[in-house]
Amino acid sequence: MSDTRSFETSLGTILGRVDGAVVRARGIPYARAGRFELPEPTGLPVGTDGDPVPFRAFKRAPASPQRTSRVLEAVLEGAGEGMVDSEDCQALSITVPADMRPDESLPVMVWIHGGAYVTGAGDLDVYDPISLVVEQRVIVVSVTYRLGILGFLGDGETLPANLGLLDLVLALRWVHEHIAAFGGDPGSVTLFGQSAGGDAIAHLMISDGTAGLFQRAIVQSAPLGISSGRAKMASAMMRAAGSPTRDTPVVELLALEERVERAARRFGLRGGMAFGTQYGHAPLPAEADRDAAWREAASRIDVLIGSTTEETRLYVPLIPAFARMTSAPLVGDPIRRALVGATTHLTYTRDARKFVERHRASGGRATRYELNWAPPGSPYGASHVTDLPLLLGTERSWSRTALIGSATWAEVDRRGRFLRQMWADFARDGVLAADATAGLSDVVTLDR
């Protein structure tokens, strides 16, 4: 089969498919778990006789069951096309250069998708890593994990907490053990993720069982300002959930998820991302111990962390009250600027700065960035998600979205090439050159 490549792992043979300048091995299972159960490592499927057979990694990893996302609908039109849901969603996909040499050992970049821990999947078209892989000669691993009520509810008693985060721990262990078979260097692994994906990465830094599994972290637009003080909200969410069971139909679970989110709204900004990581439950330390854990991790993990200058502007048009206020004649623009500025600072910028200060003070290397590119004609400005078309996806996957406004793909790609090189340079050695932002003054600034 000339259009396939085989990769010999200790688990068995994995077949990937050649796709132009890359080879894609998709939907490889890294764990298994029953509903509301802890994940366990898993091998590859076997034949009907129980003997190993080559695993045909030709299909996308299924998404965790999820409700329709207003953001995906309004901002990333068509992003979810072709996405299939399944509770058996613990799978990863690997993209490598098609012209890999047998003696190469390339840096590995592990993508963890965002979506407020309730939507998205690693293999969405808008997350296609083909340009990053081909231009920068890196290997990209995209991970899919449990979301929402299936992955981030729990109280540690009735239901285990942090199941989605525990999925990610096993995914990183899989990468560490098997990526060499794909030409990747297990000693040069960088995690990169946006929004909830960035939040997950910050917490994987202090998760039990992750020491040595990755050396660098790129934390994009993580809402760290709402990651603390969530215990009361988590309790209220559990009360609203009642007692979901392993037999409850998925459609009923998702309706219940919506009710649980409503119970979180009275907790202010934190309720904007109701589901999420919970301290004091495996694999995370108690909240009182988290700063010490981040300090301990500083010496072994290099960090690039940042946000866009208008993160919360994405949500203003989607919230009727805010949309009315900011569309008022004369006063609308000043209201929008004040509202977006304050909420962006409280949710994203302030805590990213604190993260860098603590990391550096603890002996680690950390750089903070701000992405300031506002696509011409976009109603969202330099908002949340604006970094994504610069890093991942293709013209086909982004051309229908309102996010890039009237910008041509040539404009997006020109800026994207610079940003992709910056991300990959950091992934190679954890250091950004003094002239890293040359040619990027209208896109990103660095705080060294």
Q: Catalytic residues, which ones?
A: 195, 311, 384
Q: How far apart are CA 32 and CA 371, in angstroms?
A: 37
- Encoded amino acid at 216, one letter: R
Q: How far apart are CA 7 and CA 32, in angstroms?
A: 22
The DSSP string of 397-441 is: HHTT-GGGTT--HHHHHHHHHHHHHHHHHHHHHS---TTTTTT-T
Nearest to 292 by CA among 369, 359, 226: 359
Residue 205 forms beta bridges with which residues?
none
Length of the chain: 448
Counting Cβ atoms within 10 Å, is residue 438 exposed (0-12), middle (13-18) or buried (19+)? Answer: exposed
Q: How far apart are CA 59 and CA 360, in angstroms?
A: 42
At what angle are helices 290-297 and 350-361 packed, to 10 degrees? Answer: 60
Please, which residues have CB within 8 angstroms of residue 63's CB and are 6 or more apart in sequence?
83, 84, 85, 86, 89, 120, 121, 144
Q: How far apart are CA 93 and CA 106, in angstroms?
A: 16
| Phi and psi, residue 404, nearest 5° | -90, 5
Please, which residues have CB within 8 angstroms of residue 59's CB and are 6 or more apart in sequence?
26, 27
Counting Cβ atoms within 10 Å, is residue 3 exposed (0-12), middle (13-18) or buried (19+)? Answer: exposed
Q: Is 333 helix (H, G, I), strand (E, B) or coil?
A: helix
Whose tokens are 């805590």? That residue is 351
